[in-house]
Amino acid sequence: MAFFPLGYKDAVQQWWTSVTPTVAERNVISCIPYLREAIAAESSPLARVPSAEDPGQTQTSAKNDPYGPRMWKSTMVTLSGKNRGLNEFSIERVGEPVDDTLVMLHGYGAGLGFYYKNFEPLSRLAGWKIYALDWLGMGNSKRPPFKITAKDPKEKTTEAENWFIDSLEEWRKIRKLDKFTIIGHSLGGYLAVSYALKYPGHIKKLILASPVGVPEDPYAMNAEMPEPSESTFQDEFTVDQEATTTHHDNDRLQSASNQRAGVADANANAPKKRPYPSWLVWLWDANVSPFSIVRLAGPLGPRFVSGWTSRRFNHLPDEEKQTLHDYAYSLFRQKGSGEYVLPYVLAPGAHARRPVINRIHAVGRQTVPATDSSPAVKETGFPIVFMYGENDWMDVAGGLASEEKLKEAKAKILSQASDEEKQKENGSCKVIVVTKAGHHLYLDNPDEFNDYITKELNETRRQTLLQKAQS
């Protein structure tokens, strides 16, 4: 396959006739099973596709939805300040009480539509309401200017993270949510950790799907030092999806565990050492985002994007593959905003400037500030799940190292805890590897991914019902 398979003529035509980002989102939402059939069966004006193109709601009935009735809704949630708002897509079961909430957060430069293969299976679960959000400055959310005023490198990183997580907290207050479960993919997982640390007391379970920025790298905090050369970040753009969704015999979890224990393993994938060219490092540090290149490419933008979409989505049916290509291009060509966060939180090669591994032990262990109705209280931990694809360019060893740190923190706390504190303890961690999947595991192997998430949500639901019964 050519690196840019879309021809010049076709690229110019797509550029000239391309759909708007909101229409592109609607087209992706239209691929959701049962919602698609329900809309096709209706002839009334109310048969709408809830999306950023047509905010509103549509209800699927038990007649055309075997897991219904369900309400599918799209809303632009307005935040304080100028040009600030989050694009929201939600699903809930009609006529049933809602006790649990799942919030799905996408990765860098992406959008909530990429979860289209997960919405329907996960919304079958009783007692749950699902929200998917576009981060501020990404997807179809509002795109205010992204400005960093701090001078110190560490303060710049913190300010960049706050730009996103402060908007998430404001959204939570608007939706009047007390506690919720998060799924965060890639950068969304990294930011979910930052949210948990800054705004404690609101997370029931944290599911990190191939989170970026977990391992520590001594070079990443100092821009004057040589950048690290050991990364598989380039696989996101070069590896064909057929290779990503192929199962291999080696057990990646076991291989990573053996490497951490110093045991030789012939099946372990050796780290790839590919020094980044100086021009790439310069572009990264100069905050020239890949989406800037798409915009500058003009009529050739669709051809440039096809280099990624042709590899990332080539396991999908042709119609869905084209729909996701159109969606990706429509998002990438929008006005730059949240995309400019990249060099503030990551160094070239996706190495974090404030690694998760150095902060993960404190997640779920913060002090929840006092309110008018309740005193300050210390968190007693919550379940954290790391998920990776077996062919992920993110290293599962980072998840395993995080698991060790969390277990050590829990053991230290329990060694000094009273009987009452031990009874309240709720911290845990596990690492899961999804077969036949890479970095986009929710899309590479959605059936297995959805099965794992369903089990996690059912476990959380049991805890919710137990707490209700005891209260």
Tell if the pTM clears 0.85, that is, is over it: yes
Instruction: Please state, in angstroms and rounded to a whole number, the distance separating the CA atoms of residues 141 and 79.
Output: 11
d(CA 117, CA 440): 12
More confident residue, 343 or 28: 28
Q: Do the Cβ atoms of 14 and 300 come closer than 8 Å?
A: no
Neighbours of 428 (CB within 10 A): 16
**Distance from C-alpha of 153 to C-alpha of 220, rounded to nearest angstrom:** 11
| Separation between Cα atoms, residue 130 and residue 120, nearest integer Å | 10
Segment 377-430, tens digit of pLDDT: 999 999 999 999 999 989 899 999 999 999 999 999 999 999 999 999 999 999
Q: 14 lies in a domain?
A: no
Strands 100-105, 128-133: pairing kind: parallel
**In this model, does residue 256 exceed pLDDT 90?**
no
pLDDT category at 303 given cuts 50, 70, 90 is confident
Q: How many CB atoms lie within 10 A of CB 281?
A: 17
Residue written as token pair 């974090």: 352
Q: What is the CA radius of gyration of the chain?
A: 22
366 exposed, middle or buried (CB, 10 Å; 0-12, 13-18, 19+)?
Answer: middle
pLDDT at 382: 97
> What's the pLDDT score for residue 233?
41
Residue with tokens 């576009």: 134
Confidence of residue 280 (pLDDT cuts 50, 70, 90): low
Of 387, 389, 470, nearest to 430 by C-alpha is 387
**What are the DSSP calls for 14-38, one per residue?**
HHHHPPPHHHHHHHHHTTSTTHHHH
| Residues recognised as catalytic | 186, 392, 439
Neighbours of 227 (CB within 10 A): 21
Q: Is residue 307 part of a domain?
A: no
3-state secondary structure of 170: helix
| Residue 71, phi then psi, degrees to nearest 5 | -105, 125
pLDDT at 275 over 80: no
Q: Which helix (H) or strand (E) is 214 found in, with range? A: none
Query: Is 428 domain-assigned?
Result: yes
For the cut 60, the answer to whether the pLDDT of residue 231 exceeds it is: no
Residue 51 lies in a domain: no
Give percent of the chain above pLDDT 70.
81
Average pLDDT score over the chain:
85
Distance CA 379, CA 119 (A): 30
432 lies in which domain range? 63-282+354-470
**Structural domain count, the chain:** 1
Using alpha carbons, select from 1, 4, 20, 79 the residue that is nearest to residue 329.
20
Vertex 248, ends 111 and 241: CA angle to 5°? 35
Please check whether residue 54 lies inside any domain of the structure. Answer: no
Q: Distance (Å, rounded) from C-alpha 312 to C-alpha 299?
A: 22
CATH code at position 465: 3.40.50.1820
Is 130 among the domain residues?
yes
> Could you report the per-residue pLDDT of 375-384, keeping only the tens digit for each?
999 999 999 9
The string of DSSP codes covering 220-273 is TT-TTSPPP-B--TTHHHHS-HHHHT---SS-HHHHHHHHHHT---TTSPPPPB
Q: What is the pLDDT of residues 68-95, one digit of tens each?
A: 899 999 999 999 999 999 999 999 999 9
- Interhelix angle 301-312/318-332, rounded to 10 degrees, is 130
Please list the residues that pair with 383 across neighbouring strands.
428
